[in-house]
Structure 1
Amino acid sequence: MLFVAILIVLTAFFVISEFAIVKVRRTRIEYLAGEGNKRAKAVLKVLNNLDGYLSACQLGITVTALGIGWLGEPAFAEIIHPLIVQFDLSEGLVHTISVAIAFGVITFLHVVLGELAPKTIAIQKAEAVTLMTAPPLIFFNWIMFPFIWLLNGSANLLAGLVGFKPASESDEALSEEELRMTMFNSHKSGEINDSEIKYVNRIFDFDDRVAKEIMVPRKEIVCLFTEDSFEENINLMKEEKFTRYPIAADDKDEIIGMVNIKGIFNDDHTSERTIDKYIHPIIHVIETTPIKTLLTKMQKEQCHMAIVVDEFGGTAGLITFEDILEEIVGEIRDEFDSDEVPAVQKIDDKTYLLEGKMLIPDVNELLSTNISDEELDTLGGWVLSKDNEPQQGTLITEGDYHFQVTEVEGHQVKYVQVKELENNEKNDLSTATLQ
């Protein structure tokens, strides 16, 4: 019986080792190894030859399971036999019943104590288990290497015939969606906070953005002109309170550079000044330029402003370094932005005030709607596609929402109030649609 107990313990060891090394996070082990944890370095050795060590676990499980069956069944049958004899049955029937009960008992002990319980522990405590079991597993692999090499080589050969690679060569890289799901689960369990997951999601979205989506549109660009006097340009700077301004020759389609007000205010003023003296180069990019590419270009050329041009070469908009940074960290406001209205204002649980420049994908994400038109980028553009002469108060119903224009400047939709329909309104709308 002692040998049977030892074999069950050994089975449990190999089972718990196998599940733990498959479940453990490699990145966490690499971190611990980098901190100097010797056991973590042993685990890394196991993970770097995962195929071989899984074979070692399987060999251990198989050998111990055979030993349990070989020794355990006769041992338990011998214990049970005297109890069954008391029922005055034939010797053959007594033997059969004894063997059957012994088989059931040894199977129960093997499955529960040797397989299921260790598996549960390994899955829940993978890191602690691998740190504990890696050194003895390495020792077992060293002793049994010839057998493991033969068995593993045979298995890899068969797997290779049907197109599978060894476990140690498998691709461990995660897709973007898998990373998002991992981050979501970590946030759900409290490992990361709201701010951290927002930053990560913004990073993923950042990679898909292009210049056209985040630019300040041409109509809203505050521009200096070389044909205006120096005093007129200074007055405009004082009124608008920006740090940098694009400067154009005749109109906004001919932007030739940018002006930084620091250069003007730090000048010694010893001579008559003209705005031309303070012009610096500016970057020009097309509308479809990825903002990650633009960010790299800005860093390389040490320029904090870029002009976005359309397919005809005209000015479509303007992007600053701050605009790009806000795509990652969210809105940045300084002491001069007190009159700036946020892109999204929540009025109540069913009502929002949205900026017309808000991107349609962001509107869909906020409202769980499906306003989709590949030719349009912004909420204001979508409103214009529904009514090409929008006025203050123009109302559009789409899905479960009323979209009401609250501010228009020329033909530009500045703000739209979005309100969810009441249940009776939804029912009336559904009835009208069916009719």
Structure 2
Amino acid sequence: MFEFLLFRGVAIMVLILANGFFVAAELSLVSVRETRIEQLIAQRRPGSRLVRRLQLRLDDFLPAVQLGVTLCSLALGWIGEPVVAAIFEKWLWWIPHAHVWAHVIAVPVAFAFITYFHVLLGELVPKALALRKAEQVAVAVAGPMEVFIQLTRPAVRLMNRSARLVLRLFRTPMVQEGSVHSPEELKLIATAARRSGLLPEYQEALIHRAVEINEVPTREIMTPRQRIFSLPFDLLIEEASARIVDEQHSRVPVYDPARGPEYIVGVVYSKDISRLMHFRASAKTRFTEAPFMELRLRQVMREVLVVPETKPVLDLLHEFQARRRHLAIVVDEFGSTVGLVTVEDAIEQLIGEVEDEFDI
């Protein structure tokens, strides 16, 4: 009898600890930061690559964990009640039908006893460890969990297929990868980090702007057409130079005077005008196409980038980078000019106001 109780008692403790192992494995691998695991991989920490692999295979990992927890719980009930019944039968030997009464009493007692230790050692303690030391726990449990997943792969695949079938009845897709944060969640995380002192306020604002930048259309950051400084393409270079110096612009839109200022046909760079004026002053060049005094903007203007007013600012930045441009004309759905946007406008949407020497 003693050997029977000892064996069953050890089995109960092993099952409770095994349950705690699965609980800690699930919580640690799900809660540990992917960025931290990438750092551990770079540092060649043993087990870190396996943790990353398990995080990328949650559709195998989570069912295996649930299978382990369920098996431990069922086995606890199966083993625990006979142990308690045997103890009570020994104490109640003097009562008629002691065997029956022992089992009647053993059910609630075993339930209460096992539940207490199951919750304490199989749930609360493992969860606390997994939350406080997610990184260490994840690395420690990754190897055994990989072995368990391989051993239970047929059962895991059966459960996954069954789950997909049930979810299909409710027209709900099954999640294949680990959870990702939505833009709103990222902003909440940044705010929480700032409140806890992990991030300064300006970095929180930068993260918020980075998350929101693709939701902002170009029309919200552009200079309206009414405020655009532009020049007609038939203007003489010398006249244009004086006006550009007065306005202190590095790039100026050029329009067709026959159709009006809203018909932008190109852009002229102040550096091109300055170079021409310098060449004229130094007399180091001669123009074969026309005398310098008759050279006009249409002969030195460059192609202008045109973007729709609905274009997200992030896409605008990418286009500026790909096309190597710093200025674009903004048009509406009918192709009419509604404004002008520069790469500085787009960058300011991300990092805040940037003042140059002309803003002071």
Q: Tell me how far 1:337 sits from its aligned partner.
A: 0.6
Give the equivalent residue in structure 2 for 1:202: 209
Maintained 8 Å contact 2:31/2:131:
yes
| AA of the residue aligned to 1:109 | F
Give the equivalent residue in structure 2 for 1:264: 273
Give the equivalent residue in structure 2 for 1:156: 160
Which of the residues 282, 297, 322 maps onto 2:304? 282
Give the equivalent residue in structure 2 for 1:36: 44
| AA of the residue aligned to 1:333 | E
Which of the residues 142, 146, 149 maps onto 1:134? 142
Maintained 8 Å contact 1:43/1:131:
yes
| AA of the residue aligned to 1:113 | L
Maintained 8 Å contact 1:244/1:261:
yes
Secondary structure at the residue paired with 2:215?
Answer: coil
Map 1:240-389 → 2, pairs under 5 A: 240-250=247-257, 251-266=260-275, 267-269=278-280, 270=283, 272-273=292-293, 274-276=295-297, 278-310=300-332, 314-338=336-360
State the distance in 2 between where 1:111 and 1:124 align.
Answer: 18
Once the two structures are overlaid, the 10-residue window that deviates more, 322-331 or 254-263, is: 254-263
Maintained 8 Å contact 2:219/2:310:
yes
1:5 aligned onto 2:27: no
State the distance in 1 between where 2:111 and 2:61 align.
Answer: 30
Secondary structure at the residue paired with 2:144?
Answer: helix
In structure 2, the gaps of 5 or more residues are: 1-8, 287-291
1:50 aligned onto 2:54: no
State the distance in 1 between where 2:235 and 2:269 align.
Answer: 17
Q: What percentage of residue pairs aligned between the two structures are identical?
A: 34
User: TM-score, normalised on structure 1?
Assistant: 0.63
| AA of the residue aligned to 2:229 | V
Maintained 8 Å contact 2:194/2:200:
yes
Give the equivalent residue in structure 2 for 1:61: 69
Please give the per-residue CA displacement for 1:135-186, whole angstroms capped at 9, x wherever unaligned. Answer: 12223444xx2xx234324323432322359977257454433444444444
| AA of the residue aligned to 2:359 | D
Return the structure number with greater helix share. Answer: 2
Q: Tell me how far 1:39 sits from its aligned partner.
A: 1.0
**Higher RCO (CA 8 Å, separation ≥ 6 residues):** 2
**TM-aligned CA distance change 1:97 to 1:314, over 3 Å:** closer
Give the equivalent residue in structure 2 for 1:19: 27
Give the equivalent residue in structure 2 for 1:214: 221
State the distance in 2 between where 1:331 and 1:182 align.
Answer: 24
Secondary structure at the residue paired with 2:47?
Answer: helix
Maintained 8 Å contact 1:49/1:168:
no
State the distance in 2 between where 1:314 and 1:102 align.
Answer: 81
Please give the per-residue CA displacement for 1:291-339, whole angstroms capped at 9, x wherever unaligned. Answer: 444444433433322223456655432222212221222111012112x
**TM-aligned CA distance change 1:280 to 1:191, over 3 Å:** same
Secondary structure at the residue paired with 1:169?
Answer: coil
1:109 aligned onto 2:107: no
State the distance in 1 between where 2:41 and 2:139 align.
Answer: 11
Maintained 8 Å contact 2:24/2:126:
yes
State the distance in 2 between where 1:199 and 1:122 align.
Answer: 32
State the distance in 2 between where 1:226 and 1:53 align.
Answer: 67
Please give the per-residue CA displacement for 1:365-423, whole angstroms capped at 9, x wherever unaligned. Answer: xxxxxxxxxxxxxxxxxxxxxxxxxxxxxxxxxxxxxxxxxxxxxxxxxxxxxxxxxxx
| AA of the residue aligned to 2:272 | G
Maintained 8 Å contact 1:308/1:318:
yes
State the distance in 2 between where 1:285 and 1:41 align.
Answer: 45
Secondary structure at the residue paired with 2:356?
Answer: coil
**TM-aligned CA distance change 1:155 to 1:332, over 3 Å:** same
**TM-aligned CA distance change 1:209 to 1:21, over 3 Å:** closer
State the distance in 1 between where 2:217 and 2:173 align.
Answer: 41
State the distance in 1 between where 2:174 and 2:53 align.
Answer: 14
- When the two chains are superposed, the root-mean-square deviation of aligned CA atoms in Å is 3.7
**TM-aligned CA distance change 1:249 to 1:123, over 3 Å:** same
Maintained 8 Å contact 1:226/1:247:
yes
Maintained 8 Å contact 1:257/1:279:
yes
Give the equivalent residue in structure 1 for 2:289: none
Secondary structure at the residue paired with 1:245?
Answer: strand
State the distance in 1 between where 2:173 and 2:334 align.
Answer: 55
Q: Tell me how far 1:240 sits from its aligned partner.
A: 1.9
The alignment of Structure 1 onto Structure 2 pairs a total of residues equal to 332
In structure 1, the gaps of 5 or more residues are: 339-435
Maintained 8 Å contact 2:237/2:273:
no
State the distance in 2 between where 1:281 and 1:150 align.
Answer: 63
Q: Tell me how far 1:133 sits from its aligned partner.
A: 1.0
Secondary structure at the residue paired with 1:128?
Answer: helix
State the distance in 2 between where 1:152 and 1:336 align.
Answer: 66
